[in-house]
Structure 1
Amino acid sequence: MHRLLLTLALAACATFPGGVQAERFVLAKTALELHDDAGRTLARYAIRAKHMDQRSDDGRFAVLQDADSGRIELWRAAAGQLQREAAWPAPALEVEQLCLHRDAQGLLQLFLLGNEGLSEQWLIDGRRALPVQRLATPFEPSACRVRDGEATLYVAEPGVGLWALSANAERPGRRLLLAEPQLGEKSLNGRLDAWLAEHPAAAPAARHPVVMPMGQTQPMREVGDAADDPAIWVHRSRGAQSLILATDKKRGLAVYGLDGRERQFLPVGRINNVDLRQGLVYGGRQLDLAVATQRDEAGLVLFGISPGGRVSELARLKTTLDDIYGVCVGRNADGGLDVFPNDKDGRVQRLRLKLAGKTWNVEPVGEFRLDSQPEGCVVDEANQALFVGEEKRGIWRVDLGGEGSKPALVITAGPGLMPDVEGLAIHPGRGWLVVSSQGSDSFAVYDIRPPFAQRGTFAIGTNAALGIDGVSETDGLDLTPANLGGPYADGVLVVQDGHKRLPHGPQNFKLVPWRDVEKAVQAR
């Protein structure tokens, strides 16, 4: 009974933004009622319902659970009348509480808290309810609220206290116990609102312009940290038939079409990063070649790509690195390939790919060392330079044209570029360097020429219409300005996604039209 009273009390104080009292939903024992600001009943619908939450940020609406059928229902107030807008089948769990959240992108999220510590998060998109994730929550919760600005879900657990959990499915975080009970369960139910009133909301995270993914690849074969780094192969005459080579760092190399479907899988073992170049000159022929780091062998795997897009393994190449990690490649003055693998101990090597008869090998050209772990790197062929990301510190640039050139730290991690510094790619036409700012689930864009000014930042949000979730904790990325047709007529940016949420599943890669990235950066 005390939970019903709490719900009624909360409904009675519901207001529009700015503190103006307005129409509100109230749950009676056998009906859902709409009251005006004087407490008069404007409309009534006979239903035995429970666990209601309501909002006024998009008109007055409420979500509740039908106590008899278990269905979750969305109701709206329209001209003083009640209107059921949508209804969804009962969830598999026994719902103990529910609460709503408007995320940073403006999308409506619903938390259904189970009584046995297992809960669900849904995305409400019009009349659709899309499952986002299952999450562990406190047992038998007696109340819940979400502070939208700080994306925090607060839950009261009887006999334990008040908990704070991340409301952002892309950044799960840890549960924190904020306050312990002193007067038993009944007082705890009311203490949630009191605690929130007494404690100011945390400052919201920095906002970035948001672009939408228009495509995604099939998920990895295994759960956990599997997807890592993509490289884009452009079909010479039919851009729409271009491919994405992507590392499954538990199993091998996956090859996807722009529709996200897997075309090939090469089980070459634990490869971490991959990069490629097209039209390389070897033995009087033009070849398309890709190189990936093979961690179990502390070496490299060389792949050939046919004119039709068939990928095949050509060779295993040894290095003198101990814990090989990232790699990038670039065309040298002879039209061949230079390979730049790096090691977790900070070493970065320059190797020249050679072909003797039918045998591939690499010759050492140079080596330097950073103080801590690098991974992402990219070759600026037009300016004969190498950019390397040192994960905790920033981005280094090395002049490839001079003998014995030393690396220079040209971009320091800080606002707009939060460690870990991960994937790097260059848009040659724009002269921009795109970097994964993993610590802020965003991307930073810089000039590739001094003074390496930051052009802007952006994040990749949820495309609810296509059922594609947003992007977080990105490792590798790649881009091409080539016309690949359709939404990618101005090029495409491909990024690894650290958390797949629609629906929840193994990691994958997202595709973003390059023209949308340009608009976001230039809108700053």
Structure 2
Amino acid sequence: MSILSRAPLAPALTGLASAALLAALCPPAAVSAPPAHAPAHGVDRGAATQRAVPAVEVTTDNETPVLYDSEEGGNASGDDPAIWVDAQDSANSIVVVTAKEGGLRVYDLDSNELQAVAAAEAPREDAAAGRYNNVDIAYGVPLGGERVDVAVVSDRYNDQVRFFAIDPAGARAQTPLTEVTAADLPFLFHADRAGVDTEQTAYGLAVWQPRQGGTYVVVTQEGTTALTLVEVMEQDGALGYVPVDTVSMPAQFDLPDGTVWTPCEEPGVGPQFEGVAVDRRTGTLFAAQEDVGLWEIGLSTQGFTGKQGLIDRVKDFGVHDRFDPETEECEPIDPADEGVGGSLLEADAEGVDIYYGRGANGYVVVSSQGDDSFAVYERNGRHAPVGSFRVRGVDGVDDIHGSDGLAIASVPVGEYTRGLLVTHDEPESGPGVDDEQGPTNFSYVDVGDVLDALGLRGR
């Protein structure tokens, strides 16, 4: 049954059940634009000088079917996951992932595919087929007199956000997702289709639902340092948004030796953000600038605030590089340059999400794509680094490589009684996998195993 056809305020993860789930994981902070240059010293909080400690190891024996980024595979390139938790029966929860031009995929907790959603044209007069990059979940959004749970998706080819209502039957639904995007929504970063066609468009994405009400979405722009905040609104019986604020983060950094460091990128491309997550309890945005590091940025319902700081730096932060147009790679100008980077993040810094522990406790987890690991920081205080981990595959499942997006559910999810981590894996490998077709997939990890391996407190 379609989520839109049920009685108003029906059960599942709507109404009181939705509110209870959000509470289990919620007041915002106050908070505009940071300086054009951010000092490399004084914002690090000690993370850059943290002594390197080997990553601990956890395992996974649960992975989704392989996706292929090829014509034969429907140009399906896995990128980012989100977890919808059924508050009444957590074993009925689903995982929604983006597959770029391949659309969306929906899986159950045994990683079986339940639905493939094509990257269809956006509902707009100048429509183009979609390219779905990042996804997050919003609970209890008002729509048609009901409160629905929604998968919120960034669409790069249309520079907008799109919305998919989640059937409360979850994994038992015949079609778990149904698109409910309003028509002719404004572009997020461009004035017209010509600008959108440059493809510096909607990229990373995170949902924020502050305690005082409302649903907001933070979206990053591909190839620039821009972040934008929009508020989700019902429009003509569907879901749309209105712009709230946009901020440009630093692209250059003052180093202790007096030089100014600009991260090396392709010509015309800036040091972009992708992985983002908003702390539901404090309103703090944690944002990964891929070639720079992990930021904290203040949010309010009015927009971005002056609260911002660089929590940790990638390992080669401050190394002056030169772009080689022949190899399309960045090479150090001085091979002996060690920079002033941290010890946990090896570029790219990618996916970000938050584990909510008891009270004010919890941890921020970041994909360290360059060395196939995941960095972990305290959620509160000065966000001190607490360690890192890698994921090894067992029982026929391969190890996690080059993770992009990740998602964490801090509450019990089926057999994952201490929480569930879902992470992207690229390239997927193993028997029967065609490594010539760009294979990717997603793996499920028990959060309890991560906490135990790092000696951290849970809920």
> Shorter-normalised TM-score: what interval?
0.5 to 0.7
The 1:287/1:334 distance shift into structure 2, 3 A limit, reads farther
User: Displacement, 1:484?
Assistant: 1.9
Could you tell me which of 173, 195, 216 is aligned with 2:63?
Answer: 216
1:395 aligns with 2:294: yes
Q: Deviations over 1:362-395 (max 9, x none)?
A: 1111111122210000010101111111001111
How many residue pairs were aligned? 317
Write the distance in 1 (CA, Å) between the matches of 2:356 and 2:53: 29
Could you tell me which of 130, 154, 172 is aligned with 1:293?
Answer: 154
Write the distance in 1 (CA, Å) between the matches of 2:109 and 2:370: 28
**Is the CA contact 1:229–1:247 (under 8 Å) kept in the aligned structure 2?**
yes
Residue aligning to 1:153: none
Match of 1:250, SS? coil
Could you tell me which of 246, 253, 257 is aligned with 2:97?
Answer: 246
Residue aligning to 2:205: 327
The 1:207/1:348 distance shift into structure 2, 3 A limit, reads same
Residue aligning to 1:168: none
Could you tell me which of 437, 444, 469 is aligned with 2:368?
Answer: 437
Residue aligning to 2:311: 410
Match of 1:518, SS? helix
Q: Which runs of 5+ in 1 are unaligned?
A: 1-204
Alignment of 1:55-74 (within 5 A): none
Write the distance in 1 (CA, Å) between the matches of 2:456 and 2:237: 51
Residue aligning to 1:159: none
1:494 aligns with 2:422: yes
Residue aligning to 2:186: 318
Residue aligning to 1:307: 168
Residue aligning to 2:247: 368
Q: Give the percent of matched residue pairs that are identical in Structure 1 and Structure 2.
A: 33
Write the distance in 2 (CA, Å) between the matches of 1:391 and 1:365: 25
User: Displacement, 1:446?
Assistant: 0.3
- Superposed CA RMSD: 2.1
Alignment of 1:193-212 (within 5 A): 207-212=54-59
Write the distance in 1 (CA, Å) between the matches of 2:134 and 2:397: 24
Write the distance in 2 (CA, Å) between the matches of 1:475 and 1:241: 26
Write the distance in 2 (CA, Å) between the matches of 1:298 and 1:521: 39
**Letter in structure 2 aligned against 1:311:** L
1:508 aligns with 2:441: yes
Residue aligning to 2:339: none
Write the distance in 2 (CA, Å) between the matches of 1:380 and 1:467: 35
Could you tell me which of 140, 151, 162 is aligned with 1:279?
Answer: 140
**Is the CA contact 2:348–2:368 (under 8 Å) kept in the aligned structure 1?**
yes
Could you tell me which of 390, 396, 408 is aligned with 1:467?
Answer: 396
Residue aligning to 1:479: 408
Scaled by the length of structure 1, what TM-score is found? 0.58
Match of 2:450, SS? helix
Scaled by the length of structure 2, what TM-score is found? 0.66
Q: Which runs of 5+ in 2 are unaligned?
A: 1-51, 120-129, 171-175, 190-199, 252-270, 315-341
Which has the larger share of strand?
1
**Letter in structure 2 aligned against 1:216:** E
Alignment of 1:37-52 (within 5 A): none
Residue aligning to 1:386: 285
Write the distance in 2 (CA, Å) between the matches of 1:326 and 1:360: 19
**Is the CA contact 1:438–1:474 (under 8 Å) kept in the aligned structure 2?**
yes
The 1:225/1:284 distance shift into structure 2, 3 A limit, reads closer
